[in-house]
Amino acid sequence: MSAIIPTNSIITVAGTVGVGKTTMTRKLAEALQFKTSFEKVDNNPYLDKFYSDFERWSFHLQIYFLAERFKEQKHMVEVGGGFIQDRSIYEDTGIFAKMHADKGTMTEIDYETYTSLFEAMVMNPYFPKPNVLVYLEGDLDTILSRIQSRGREMEKQTPLSYWQEMHQRYQDWIDSFDACPVLRLDIREYDLINDDQCIKRIVNELEIYF
């Protein structure tokens, strides 16, 4: 464990679908001897429905994610100790909900309701922000290849245009993100699976934020 990174820190891993957040979360947690907080995908009651009908289920999905992430953020503080978190609560409002509002697959009223709830829950001094956000970025072709390789049927059937737009929105979002310090990592420049020293170098990069 790094002696520089406090043991009660929350480090959040962010990035678009397929960029490797889960692997990074596990590797960082192992290296720092921190707990993990993973996005709940498999038991999500809206995800399959959402991918088949964005307009019908986008609001339900975003409200579900907002509630689950808020509860998890509260849980991490109550449990104490260090956590590596897979995906941030900020991505939901800054990318996903906004994308559906812009495209008309979430109604204006639903979007206003969602953003009002988000601001009340998150944008206040009592909400525990991450100490650092580790942002994973890469070219679209590499990310699409990873999505195909992991074989989730609902993702493989999603139109290419959706992934293209999401990729661009992530780039725009991170360029203006200021809720906490950000460490940006290009997925083409490290190999967490085959290079045992790789995670040590990333931890060293993280240390400068503490």
Structure tokens at 61: 């999905």
pTM: predicted TM-score of the whole model, two decimal places = 0.89
What confidence tier does 104 reach under pLDDT thresholds 50, 70, 90? very high
Give me the pLDDT at residue 130, please: 94
Q: In this predicted model, what pLDDT tens digit does every residue of 68-82 receive, in sequence order?
A: 999 999 999 999 999
In sequence order, what E strands does the chain have? Answer: 10-14, 35-37, 83-86, 132-137, 182-186
Q: Can you tell me the mean pLDDT for 1-12?
A: 87
Q: What percent of the chain has pLDDT over 90?
A: 69
Give me the pLDDT at residue 182, please: 98
CA-atom Rg of the chain in angstroms: 17
Q: Can you tell me the mean pLDDT for 60-67?
A: 94
According to the 3-state scheme, what is the secondary structure of 56-87?
HHHHHHHHHHHHHHHHHHHHHHHHCCCEEEEC
- Could you tell me the domains of the chain? 10-207 (3.40.50.300)
List 42, 48, 53, 86, catalytic entry: 86
Is residue 86 among the annotated active site residues? yes
- On the question of pLDDT at 97 being above 90, the answer is yes
What confidence tier does 151 reach under pLDDT thresholds 50, 70, 90? low
Give me the pLDDT at residue 116, please: 96
- On the question of pLDDT at 3 being above 90, the answer is no
Neighbours of 92 (CB within 10 A): 22
Q: Can you tell me the mean pLDDT for 91-116?
A: 94
Mean residue pLDDT of the chain comes to 91
Q: Can you tell me the mean pLDDT for 85-102?
A: 92
- On the question of pLDDT at 11 being above 90, the answer is yes
Q: What percent of the chain has pLDDT over 70?
A: 96
Q: In this predicted model, what pLDDT tens digit does every residue of 30-46 receive, in sequence order?
A: 999 999 998 776 788 99
